[in-house]
């Protein structure tokens, strides 16, 4: 009962403070886009000032000079169930010359898995078929499921430091 009361109090306090937030002096809140056709998950500014916004369902949208462009930068198939989907974006440090954009997304399949891919920009859209898979978490996820199964069946007892995997480089 105490735990439930604490949770209710925490939720009420968060709601109270969320509406009472103020910005530090010199900062201004400004809405820059409306009616995005999906759930935004991540965003990043390109060196030239364009804002790239990831939508969970697999689109990258560009806001340029304060306006949402009608054509998506990129649309890719993703598994967008729960907290999966198109989740992150980053620009290459040499974006001005190589035009590389990196995306972190969930690949559909059985099982679904996460991947970091590199795409090449051509203005406000991605070059068709420019995906280069940089890092894939499929093998890591499969191994972790196997380890979890073996732990529950007591077939193995892993010791700390015996499993040190972080996926595989493509």
Q: What is the reported pLDDT for 90?
A: 95
- In tens digits, what is the pLDDT along the chain, a chain of 170 residues? 444 444 444 444 444 444 556 888 888 887 877 788 889 999 999 999 999 999 999 999 999 998 999 999 999 999 998 888 999 999 999 999 999 999 999 999 888 889 999 999 999 999 999 999 988 886 555 555 555 555 554 444 444 443 333 343 44
Q: What is the reported pLDDT for 141?
A: 53
Distances from the Cα of 55 to the Cαs of 1, 38, 94, in angstroms? 39, 6, 24
Total-model pTM: 0.69
Question: Are the C-beta atoms of 123 and 113 separated by less than 8 Å?
Answer: no
Closest CA to 37 of 69, 8, 12, 6: 69
Q: First CA to last CA across the chain, in angstroms?
A: 51
Q: How far apart, in whole angstroms, are the C-alpha atoms of residue 161 and residue 140?
A: 16
Domains of the chain by residue range: 37-137
129: left (phi over 0), alpha (psi -120 to 50) or beta: left
Domain 37-137: CATH architecture, name and number where available = Beta Barrel (2.40)
- Nearest 5°: CA angle at 40, between 123 and 29? 90
Distances from the Cα of 165 to the Cαs of 2, 81, 106, 147, 161, in angstroms? 41, 26, 19, 12, 10
């Amino acid at each position: 009962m105490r735990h439930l009361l604490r949770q209710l109090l925490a939720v009420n306090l968060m709601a109270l403070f969320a509406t009472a937030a103020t910005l530090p002096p010199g900062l201004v809140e400004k809405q820059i886009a409306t009616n995005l056709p999906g759930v935004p998950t991540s965003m990043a500014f390109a060196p030239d000032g364009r804002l790239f916004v990831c939508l969970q369902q697999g689109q990258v949208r560009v806001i340029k000079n304060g306006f949402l462009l009608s054509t998506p930068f990129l649309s890719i198939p993703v598994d967008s169930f729960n907290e999966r989907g198109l989740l992150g974006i980053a620009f290459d440090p040499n974006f001005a010359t190589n035009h590389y954009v990196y995306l972190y997304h969930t690949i559909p399949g059985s099982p679904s898995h996460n991947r970091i891919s590199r795409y090449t920009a051509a203005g406000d859209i991605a070059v068709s078929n420019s995906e280069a898979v940089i890092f894939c978490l499929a093998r890591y996820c499969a191994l972790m499921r196997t380890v979890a199964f073996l732990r529950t069946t007591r077939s193995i007892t892993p010791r700390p430091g015996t499993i040190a995997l972080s996926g595989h480089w493509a």
